[in-house]
Amino acid sequence: MIGAGPAGLMAAIKAAEEGASVVVFESMPKPARKLGISGKGRGNITNTAGYSDFLAHFNNHGRFLKTAFKAFFNQDLLDFFAEEGLKTTVERGGRVFTASGKAPEIVSKLVAAARKRNVTIMTDTAISDLVIEQKQCKGVKTRTGRTFDADAVIIATGGKSYPLTGSTGDGYKFAQNIGHKVVPPLPSLVALKPERPFPISLNGLQLRNIEARLIIDGRKVQSEFGELAFLDNNLAGPVIITLSRTAVPEIVKKKQVIVSLDLKPALDHEKLDKRLLRDLNKLKNRPCSELIAGLLPTSMIDFCLESCEIDAKLNCSQLEARLRKRLRNWLKELNFEISEPGPWSQAIVTAGGIDTREINPVTMQSKLVSNLFFAGEIIDIDADTGGFNLQAAFSTGWLAGFNAARDQQK
């Protein structure tokens, strides 16, 4: 087994349960670092969504996961963890978190479950390549030059996001060396960088109850309601993370990608205009900045006045109808043209990876090389936030472990 993330550990546990003798090689000093910080440190391990709904969160990759989910699905995962003594709680949108609110607890339960089944975990042991003879995987080579023989090998090295957790994309190289196609990896569930930097004063600002629309080449393709943050020159926060899954592939294709914010989604243009007129009437000889202060957080006032070209010294009674209209349009359509995705270091998952057409979905086995299996995020599968990605790692790990053990016993 290469990689002691959730996919690798679950594969090891299942293979050992099936009677295989299992060694997990992990490049980092400790297993499953990414899992230990998942769900904002609280570990959103799965989702209670039903089978079809669950698959839909993977877009067109859902089909590949059908057997894995039939073999080991959300309730199976929860039963497994309950047996290992992990308490969980279901939250908004069916998201299942650790009851303790501590993701590292998931890691310790998984490691304990593996050790109970006599799995050996070799940390600080990076694998540099596979040993292949006549289209059969015969073992692995470590970065220090040692070779380990194996009857079956599972690659569970994850994607490329958050590389500090150990997921540096090594598995793609192993797979490419033996002829596997890798769909170019892209950061997903990630912040988006606007073409024109927003003012420093906005950095750190969080907006609640806004609507963010994704516009690709002039066509609205998606909209999300909720929270947004301005962070380190990027648009971030839950609505952006969700939109990024659709946006990033289009940015890469050099399409025009715009995130258009409706800062007042509860008011249509007519109602917003009435509200502006009412406020202007009330404030009369007060500066326009006071009008904006009633509509937006303080750190946005100057940005708003400048963008709408409204003189900060202007009184409310002096605001002409054309400026009021400009302000209204700005509040309803604050557009950011996006130039690139946020950095890999902040992406929650990797889109792309080992082409699913070259993996048998019933066994997770390579179609090119025998005795070789794949599990987890290294495969070209990615989903929305909500616990879907971890369930996919656990389910594909379980299925790969089950079938690799069968191979070992042949």
- CA angle, 88 then 16 then 84, to 5°: 20
- For the sheet with 147-149, list strands across it: 127-133, 136-142, 147-149
Q: How far is the CB of 355 from ligand FAD (least distance, A)?
A: 16
Please report how close the Cβ of residue 69 comes to ligand FAD at its closest, in angstroms.
14
Query: Rounded to an integer, what distance in angstroms lies between the CA atom of residue 159 and that of residue 65?
Result: 17
Among residues 194, 341, 376, 401, which is the contact residue for ligand FAD, using CB under 6 A?
Answer: 376
| By CB under 6 A, residue 354 contacts ligand FAD | no
Residue 44 CB, nearest approach to ligand FAD (Å) = 3
What is the sign of the dihedral through the CA atoms of 387, 389, 391 and 393? negative
Nearer to ligand FAD, 71 or 293 (CB): 71
**Which of 80, 81, 162, 172 touches ligand FAD by CB under 6 A?**
162
Q: Report in angstroms the alpha-carbon separations of 260 from 159, 216, 256, 360.
A: 30, 11, 12, 41
Q: How far is residue 248's CA from residue 271's CA, in Å, rounded to a whole number? A: 34
> Alpha-carbon distance 59 to 151, whole Å?
34
Phi then psi for residue 55, to 5 deg, are -60, -35
DSSP 207-235: EEEEEEEEEETTEEEEEEEEEEEEETTEE
Show the tokens assigned to 299: 């750190």
Which of 12, 13, 25, 402 contacts ligand FAD by CB under 6 A? Answer: 25
Q: Which of 62, 158, 187, 194 binds ligand FAD (CB under 6 A)?
A: 158
d(CA 136, CA 12): 20
Closest contact distance (angstroms) between CB of 285 and ligand FAD is 51
Q: How many chain residues are in contact with ligand FAD, going by CB under 6 A? A: 39
Pair 399, 363: CB distance under 8 Å: yes
Q: In angstroms, how far is CA 168 from the centroid of its own chain?
A: 16
Choices 36-44, 67-75, 77-85, 337-345; region in contact with ligand FAD by CB under 6 A: 36-44
Q: Tell me, what DSSP letter sits at residue 5? A: S
Instruction: Tell me the three state secondary structure of residue 81.
Output: helix
Q: Does residue 137 interact with ligand FAD by CB under 6 A? A: no
With binding defined as CB under 6 A, does residue 166 bind ligand FAD? yes
Nearer residue to ligand FAD within complex by CB, 4 or 310? 4
Cβ distance to ligand FAD smaller for residue 167 or 244 = 167
Contact between 387 and ligand FAD per CB under 6 A = yes
User: Which of 6, 185, 187, 194 contacts ligand FAD by CB under 6 A?
Assistant: 6
Residue 242's contacts (CB-CB under 8 Å, 6 or more residues apart) are 189, 224, 384, 385
| 157 lines the binding site for ligand FAD (CB under 6 A) | yes
Mask 195-224, x = binds ligand FAD (CB under 6 A)? ------------------------------
Q: Which of 409, 348, 332, 345 is nearest to 383 (CA)?
A: 348
Of positions 1, 49, 156, 308, contacts ligand FAD by CB under 6 A: 156
| Burial of 355 (C-beta count, 10 Å sphere; 0-12/13-18/19+) | middle
The single residue among 1, 38, 371, 381 that binds ligand FAD, judged by CB under 6 A, is 38
Residue 365 near ligand FAD by CB under 6 A? no
Binding mask 102-131 for ligand FAD (x = CB under 6 A): ------------------------xx----
Position 384 contacts ligand FAD (CB under 6 A): no
* Residues near ligand FAD, by CB under 6 A: 2-8, 25-28, 32-35, 37-39, 44, 126-127, 156-158, 161-162, 166-168, 170, 348-349, 376-377, 387-390, 393
